Chain A
Amino acid sequence: MDSLLNGFLQAFNLILHLNPELFGIIFLSLKVSGLALVLATVFGLPFGAIAGLKRFPGQGLLVSLMNTFMGLPPVVVGLLVYLMLSRRGPLGFLGLLYTPSAMIIAQTILAVPIVTALCYSAIVSVDPIIRQAARTLGATPLQEAAALIHEARYGIISAVIAAFGRVSAEVGSILIVGGNIAGYTRVMTTTIALETDKGNFELALALGIILLLLSFIINIALHGVQKKGMYSPSHLDRP
């Protein structure tokens, strides 16, 4: 009990004294997860939007696949990215293994299905009357699609926040492809795993507190977005 309390006290000490090692790790974590999120949004949003706006053969299968990939095991993704980027792998010549870029690639792969599936879900949940209303007012097909995406904006923001929550707390894939190299690829989650193994609980606890805080901030943001989008047309748009 004493060691736990002591660990907490030292952890707060590290945070309060702006320990450079601690903040280096936090900064890298946010950079890797942030860039992965940007890439996942760039790929996932258009894909989810097309799936939500168009009707095409095999759509049901595609949606089922997207939903399945939302639960991709991070270690499996890590393993696949490792095999692709290792020296003997097809992309080994890029020399990306054990770099932050490899970690960004792995986290992007984890986040794309989440962004895609949740954006799709947000867009198909928009009341179809919105599309008709846009058409009656003279919208082109592209403007109709834009109106639908605009209506789904709170759901889309929620999708992006949910994906950030997943990748920022993820450890399996980045540990495999990043190698947990101090000062280079060591991020919050991998440091917690390593320092716990070594019995250095102070840094692990400090990072644990920061991760929890981050998760709390993400949830507050999600709640705020959901509250803002609460007035859904399907609930209140009655003649």
Chain B
Amino acid sequence: MNLIVSHIRKEYGEKTILCDCSASFDSRGTYVLMGPNGCGKSTFLRICSLIENQDGGEILFSDDKSSLLHDLSLRRRITLVLARIGVFNTTVHKNVAYGLTIRGIHQSEIDKKVSSALTFVGLEHKKNQRALTLSSGETQRLGIARALAIEPEILFLDEPTASVDQENTEVIESIIRTMKTGGRTTVIMTTHDREQAERLADVLLFMKEGTISPP
């Protein structure tokens, strides 16, 4: 699946967040969007992942050269892990199962996929633990597992290692690198850490004052 973003504009009241923002994500791999805090990276990801509407411009998802409607079916082929992931007040297992449950998938299949996603992020041993008792780093890994369980074609990650300790940052980076070798998911992530961006990116993009510029 390809994503082309053309001339996106977004305003909150009087304040312009994104202005004439364009980018193309047309190959598999990891795209890293860099920029200082408050430059509009998170808003850009929320608009690209169809969680929020833009005020102007176009978001075009396409598959084998045909464009896709912005409907539930498309929304279920992509996902965004928010910077603050939004933990459901239940077990780790049920958090990861949520996306599959709402798709009406059979319980045995859910258990298999949840187990695989939790193993992938190293949280299988905590599957029965209450999710709200996880540490910050584990919570971020839970967010990634929850997204991976639904096998998205495009995975948006908003600052996945912000406020996470060094050890968990390394684990999360390793997860992102492993996803890349899996080759099925396009990862589009934001970070304000230049070194991390260089470590992970196949394509590096910069955002400044609401506009994406080439490296």
**A interface with B by C-beta (< 8 Å):** 127, 129-130, 132-140, 143, 147, 150-151, 229, 231-233, 236-239
Contact = CB atoms under 8 A, between A and B. Distances in A.
B86 A127 contact: yes
Contacts of B102: 134, 137-140, 143
26 contacts: A129-B85, A130-B86, A132-B82, A132-B86, A133-B85, A133-B86, A134-B98, A134-B102, A136-B80, A136-B147, A137-B150, A138-B75, A138-B76, A138-B103, A139-B102, A151-B89, A231-B89, A231-B133, A232-B89, A233-B89, A236-B132, A236-B133, A237-B85, A237-B86, A238-B163, A239-B85
B43 interface: no
Contacts of A147: 88, 98
A147 B94 CA distance: 12
A239 B83 contact: yes
**Closest 3 interchain pairs by CB?**
A133-B86, A137-B99, A138-B76
Contacts of A127: 86
Interface of B: 49, 51, 72, 75-76, 79-89, 98-99, 102-103, 130, 132-133, 136, 139-140, 146-147, 150, 159, 162-164
Given A136-B80, A239-B85, 20 more contacts: A127-B86, A133-B82, A133-B87, A135-B51, A136-B51, A137-B79, A137-B102, A137-B150, A138-B99, A138-B103, A143-B102, A151-B89, A231-B130, A231-B132, A232-B89, A237-B132, A238-B136, A239-B159, A239-B162, A239-B164
Nearest to A128: B86
Contacts of B164: 239
Nearest to A146: B102
A151 B88 contact: yes
A231 to B, nearest CB: 4
Contacts of B80: 136
Contacts, number: 84
State the main secondary structure of chain B at its contact with A. Answer: loop
Contact of B88 (A133, A140, A232, A236): A133
A189 B80 CA distance: 56
B89 A136 contact: no
A129 B86 contact: yes
Most A CB within 10 A of own CB, among B79, B89, B102, B147 = B89
Nearest to B86: A133
Nearest to B160: A239
B84 to A, nearest CB: 5
A136 B87 contact: no
A56 B85 CA distance: 28
B179 to A, nearest CB: 17
B72 A137 contact: no
Contacts of A136: 49, 51, 79-82, 147
Contacts of B49: 136
Nearest to A236: B132
A234 B46 CA distance: 21
Nearest to A138: B76
Contacts of B133: 231, 236
A239 B143 CA distance: 10
